[in-house]
Amino acid sequence: MDLSTSLTLVRPELILSFSSLALLLIAAWRQDAGRLVSILSVAALVGAGVTSAQFLAAGTDATAFDGLYRADAFSSFAKILIYIAAAVALVIAPKALEKMGAMRAEYPVLVVLAAVGMGIMVSASDLLTLYIGLELNSLAAYVLASFARNDGRSAEAGLKYFVLGALASGILLFGMSLLYGFTGSTSFETIGQAMAGEIGTGLLFGLVFVLSGLAFKISAAPFHMWTPDVYEGAPTPVTAFFASAPKVAATALLIRVTIEAFGSQAQAWQQIVMVVALMSIVIGAVGAIGQQNLKRLLAYSSINNIGFLLIGLAAGTEQGISAMLVYLAIYVAMTLGGFICLMQLKGRDGEMKEGMADIAGLSKTKPLLAAAFAVFMFSLAGIPPLFGFWGKLVVFNAAIEAGMFPLAVIGIAASVIGAFYYLKVVKTMYFDEPADAVDTSDDKVLSWSGGALALAVSPLGYFAIPALTAVTAQAAGALF
């Protein structure tokens, strides 16, 4: 395979890399050009997304750089989701960051760089590309977490994220070195072949360490401890970004590693994934109950949702993977929507409000905002007729089809525990007396994007099911 073919296959990453470099130059000379750079970054993300969509439509399925990088339907679908989520995170950010005095031109550049890393993650077909992508994304994310540098909480979040992230990277690298040592290759395909049949303790250790490192990145229990702290401390637009795009990328990466590299040892990792899934569901649900800070609550909610996602992976079938992709798409819409609602809560002096008490009686003072928030909460809880229900349904359907009845039964019973705290948010907004702590938001972008996402997860979303099913089936098919 010659270089030019390889370069055509990495077009989305090329577009983003070059634009990020060019935008960095603009940022270097014009510190106040934050908005301009944001707009250009969104344009670059849209361009990369369109390229990925073209790949998806053309059914591209090829490897580049001698098997280091893979452009298939699966990676294209994941990239489209990632770019959309990153673009939304950019669109909603400027006003909120300006209020904190943190809107600098580097913010969009960092998001684009993270997007490049995420693109590489989902396309990685070799442990080396995997690691490069993961670190590119993580390094950008550490900086983003502490982006409001005058805010102690933000700095703390960045530091925590960095230390724990480095630990996880270490675990991951250790696992990768074991895999390489025992199989003699870093390519997923060769590892997959070498792992067929009986495997020794060394390889098993490698597998467990790699899965643990990745579980940290998707914040699955028991590697979830950093999530509430980082989500709470990071500026809200950054948290919205963390909860959406990197989750998609890390999950897609996890899927590819488990299916392509460890596919022949399904027995070995299925148990791990099952335990991690159930722990995430239960810990996410129980941990959220006592939370008084809405950002922390949404952090636990994301742990909870990762658990449901992993049920699809535990099934390990093509249908399970396709279900995960459906869930991811819906999850991104729900979680971005939830954070957008949160960002509209502003106090009388323009400061951000994020406490449970601040939304008391919101339905009386801000009926539309409360309604949108309620839609996202019910949807995250998976109550029909909202679209979140469909995501839960497809993953449980995959588990049932794979014959994993105990997993499905425990998972769905635990989802009722999860419903409790989502209901609590709705209860505070609708049943309690108004606290009147929240002023009218003047950010039209937030209102419009929040409204659009609320419509998307409302029952209207069901009209998207046929298209979504077809695309995710194609994407999942690329892995098997």
Partner 1 sequence: MNAAELPILSIMLAVPMLGAIACLFVRDELARVVALGATLLNLVLGIWLWASYDPAGAQWQFVESAQLFGPIGWKLGIDGISLLLIMLSVFLMPICIGASWRSITERVGLYMASFLLMETLMIGVFAAQDLLLFYIMFEAGLIPMYLIIGIWGGKDRIYASYKFFLYTLLGSVFMLLAMLWMIQQAGTADIPTLLNHDFPAEAQTILWLAFFASFAVKMPMWPVHTWLPDAHVQAPTAGSVILAGVLLKMGGYGFLRFSLPMFPEASAQFIWLIFGLSMVAVVYTSLVALVQDDMKKLIAYSSVAHMAIVTVGLFTFNQQGIEGAIIVMLSHGLVSGALFLCVGVIYDRLHTREISRYGGLSINMPKYALFFMLFTMASVGLPGTSGFVGEFLSLAGAYKVSTWATLIATTGIILGAGYMLYLYRRIAFGEQVNADAAAMPDLDKRELWLLAPIAAAVLWMGVYPESFLAPIRRDVATIVDRIERAAPAGDSKLKENDKTTAKYRVHAHGGEHQKKAEGAAH
On whether the CB atoms of residues 93 and 38 are closer than 8 A, the answer is yes
Query: Of these, 378, 388, 437, 438, which contacts partner 1 (CB under 8 A)?
Result: 378
Cβ(168)–Cβ(216) below 8 Å: yes
User: Rounded to an integer, what distance in angstroms lies between the CA atom of residue 282 and that of residue 393?
Assistant: 18
Q: CB-wise, 107 or 389, nearer to partner 1?
A: 389
For partner 1, the closer of residues 42 and 314 by Cβ is 314
- Size of the residue set binding partner 1 (CB under 8 A): 33
Query: Does residue 289 touch partner 1 according to CB under 8 A?
Result: no
Helix (H) or strand (E) run with residue 70 in it: strand 69-71
Judged by beta carbon, residue 190 or residue 397, the one nearer partner 1 is 397
In the shown chain, the binding pattern of residues 83 to 102 toward partner 1, with x for contact by CB under 8 A and - for none, equals --------------------
Residue 61's Cβ-side half-sphere holds a number of Cα atoms within 13 Å equal to: 10
Q: Output the CA torsion 19→23→24→25 (10° steps).
A: 110
Phi/psi for 408 (5° steps) reads -65, -45
CB atoms within 10 A of CB 33: 17
CB of 307 to partner 1, least distance (A): 15
Report which of 361, 369, 376 is spatially closest to residue 458, judged by C-alpha positions: 376
Tell me the closest approach of the beta carbon of residue 406 to partner 1, in angstroms: 11
Tell me whether residue 1 or residue 289 sits nearer to partner 1 (CB atom): 289
**Residue 383 carries which side chain, given as an amino acid letter?**
I
Question: E strands of 253-367, at which residues?
Answer: none
Of 431, 436, 448, 452, the residue at the interface with partner 1 (CB under 8 A) is 431
Using rule CB under 8 A, residue 460 touches partner 1: no
Distance CA 35, CA 286 (A): 40
Q: Rounded to the nearest whole angstrom, what is the least distance from the CB of residue 469 to partner 1 in the complex?
A: 5
Answer yes or no whether residue 58 interacts with partner 1 by CB under 8 A: no
Question: Smallest distance from the beta carbon of 431 to partner 1, in angstroms?
Answer: 5
Q: CB-based burial of residue 391 (10 Å sphere; 0-12 exposed, 13-18 middle, 19+ buried)?
A: buried
x/- map, 388-427, partner 1, by CB under 8 A = -x---x--xx--xx---x--xx--xx-xx--xx--x--xx
Tell whether residue 458 is a contact of partner 1 (CB under 8 A): no
Binding range to partner 1, per CB under 8 A, among 14-22, 83-91, 272-280, 460-468: 460-468
Instruction: Give residues in contact with partner 1 (CB under 8 A).
Output: 363-364, 367, 378, 383-385, 389, 393, 396-397, 400-401, 405, 408-409, 412-413, 415-416, 419-420, 423, 426-427, 430-431, 462-463, 465-466, 468-469
